Amino acid sequence: MNFDIFNFNKPGRGVKEDEPDLPRWRLFFRQFSSKFVQILGLNFLYLVFSIPSLILAYFASFWIIGQSFDQYFGFQYDTNLLEMTLPRVILALLMVFIPAVAIGPVHAGFSFVLRNFSRQRHAYVWWDFKDHALENLKQGFIVTFFNIIVIFLLGLAINTYAQFSAYSSNILTYAAIGFVTIALFIFLSINLYIYPLMISYDMKIKELYRVAYSFAFLRLIPNILLILGITVILILAFALIPAIGVILTLFILPAFVLYTINFFVDPVIKRFEIEQDLVEAEAEEETDLIE
């Protein structure tokens, strides 16, 4: 009997040298299908190593979606426990997948593997994950700590303005809620790019956030559409039959979402790499002329 099917590190079918460039949407599905076995293994590893961040995100979701949310929708603990829990589960998964709440080194390691998949390169799932998680250990934990602080402050702002809106419906309250909502989307958009940049460049934390913020702001609409798309996927997975959402999460959902994010941001990172190379080349030419 051939047990090689359980080898998550075996290479996919590869790409022929003379094969023409495919449209991005076709390349997305072809790479996903060709790396399907590795992606299943990656999903299992990701869930195992992300248990602490999943627990933290779940409690953070209760902080962000406060009692005012339950009061607005008329939820009560004795009759609507499932309805109260589902929005928080979806928000928690969204924060982990984006990843606003994640164990930094763990997510950095998986980002490297998924970046290779999106670039049609082979990756050894376990070894590449382990090596790049260790390489980004310090920066990963710094990003984790910073993100937790931001999540706390955003949750505090959302709860505060939601309570104000219950007693006052003036335009300033709604403007404040709108401002915090935009800030939340920008923060989530920043985290789409943090880890792909981290594994691609030797940047200081300040520079890492500066470049990620530039991508988040300049591509705000595509980023928002991606975040909303992921949200819709999570809602569809859990809203009708929650058990289906649980099964999908255990087998494929996290890896599929992370693969989608990396496939989305990778062309932006590659263009940034080309621009950086051009700047360095021009600087070297100027240096040679001066000498």
Greater confidence (65 vs 291) lies with 65
pLDDT at 248: 94
pLDDT at 211: 92
For the CA atoms of 240, 243, 110, 228, the dihedral, rounded to the nearest 10 degrees, stands at 10
pLDDT at 15: 46
Which pair of tokens denotes residue 265? 């941001």
Greater confidence (245 vs 8) lies with 245
pLDDT in tens, 212-271: 999 998 898 999 999 999 999 999 999 888 899 999 999 999 999 999 999 999 888 888
| Mean pLDDT, the chain, integer | 82
pLDDT at 161: 79
Q: What is the mean pLDDT of residues 146-150?
A: 93
Which pair of tokens denotes residue 211? 């470049």
Q: Yes or no: say if 209 and 195 are a contact pair by the CB < 8 Å rule.
A: no
pLDDT at 1: 40
For the CA atoms of 159, 149, 48, 131, the dihedral, rounded to the nearest 10 degrees, stands at 150
Greater confidence (14 vs 166) lies with 166
CA–CA gap between residue 42 and residue 110 (Å, rounded): 8
Please, what's the b/e burial string for 108-124 (b: 16 or more CB within 10 A of its CB; e: otherwise)?
A: bbbbbbbbbbbebeebb
pLDDT in tens, 153-207: 988 888 777 777 666 667 777 788 788 888 888 999 999 999 999 998 888 999 9
pLDDT at 85: 84
Q: Yes or no: say if 266 and 118 are a contact pair by the CB < 8 Å rule.
A: yes
**Range with the poorest average pLDDT among 56-60, 141-145, 203-207, 287-291:** 287-291
Which pair of tokens denotes residue 85? 């829990």
Percent of the chain scored above 90 by pLDDT?
46
H, E, C per residue of the chain = CCCHHHCCCCCCCCCCCCCCCCCHHHHHHHHHHHCHHHHHHHHHHHHHHCHHHHHHHHHHHHHHCCHHHHHHHCCCCCCCHHHHHHHHHHHHHHHHHCCCCCCHHHHHHHHHHHHHHHCCCCCCHHHHHHHHHHHCHHHHHHHHHHHHHHHHHHHHHHHHHHHHHHHCCCHHHHHHHHHHHHHHHHHHHHHHHHHHHHHHCCCCHHHHHHHHHHHHHHCHHHHHHHHHHHHHHHHHHHCCCHHHHHHHHHHCHHHHHHHHHHHHHHHHHHHHHHHHHHHHHHHHHHHHHHC
The answer, as to whether pTM is greater than 0.75, is yes
